[in-house]
Amino acid sequence: MKVAIATQDLARVDAHLGWVRHLMLYEVDEEGYRYLGLETLADGDPSLRLRAMAGCRLVFAADVDADGEFQLARLQVIPIRKFAGEPVALALEALRDGMRGHAPLWLRQAEQKYRRESING
C-alpha cells in the first residue's frame, strides 16, 4: 500500500495538509515499509500536493480541512490524523502491524471508507 506522510521536519507527522512543505512517500506491507521518495512542495499550489499523492491509499497528516477532505475523497486517499506529532516510523510501524493481523480501529475504518468510496465512485 502506498502512503504519504505530511511533514515539515522530515521526522514527525507534523504538518497540516494544506500547508505541508514535504510529503514523504512509502510503500507499506506486512513485511515492512520502503521509502519511495520525497516531494518538496511550493507554497500556494494545492494541485501539486494532490499530484504528489497520486496512487496513495492513505495520508498521515496532523490535520486536514474540509476542502482537503473533499479533494482527497476524489483521489480515494484517506487521511489519518491519529499520529499527529508522532514520529514517522511510529505511524509506518502501526500500519505494518495492522496489516499483519488484527487491524486497529483507525485502520479498519480507513479500509471501510476506502471500500465505500470505491463502490460509490
Domain residue extents for the chain = 2-120
CA distance 68 to 38: 20
Task: Provide, rounded to the nearest whole percent, the portion of the chain with pLDDT above 90.
Answer: 62
Examine the pLDDT at 8 and tell me if it is beyond 80: yes
User: What stretch of H or E contains 42?
Assistant: none
Q: What is the mean pLDDT of residues 1-12?
A: 96
**Cβ atoms of 64 and 72 closer than 8 Å:** yes
Q: In b/e form, how buried is each residue of 31-68, taking b as 16+ CB within 10 angstroms?
A: eebeeeeebebeeeeeeebbebbeebbbbbbbebeeeb
At residue 111, the pLDDT reads 75
User: What pLDDT does 114 receive?
Assistant: 67
Q: What is the pLDDT of residue 118?
A: 67
CATH 3.30.420.130 fits 2-120, yes or no: yes
Indicate the pTM of the whole model.
Answer: 0.88
Burial of 26 (0-12, 13-18, 19+ CB in 10 A): buried
Averaged pLDDT of the chain: 90
The yes-or-no verdict on residue 119 having pLDDT over 80 is no
Whether 107 and 98 have beta carbons less than 8 Å apart is answered as yes
The per-residue pLDDT for 104 is 80
Provide the pLDDT for residue 44. 60
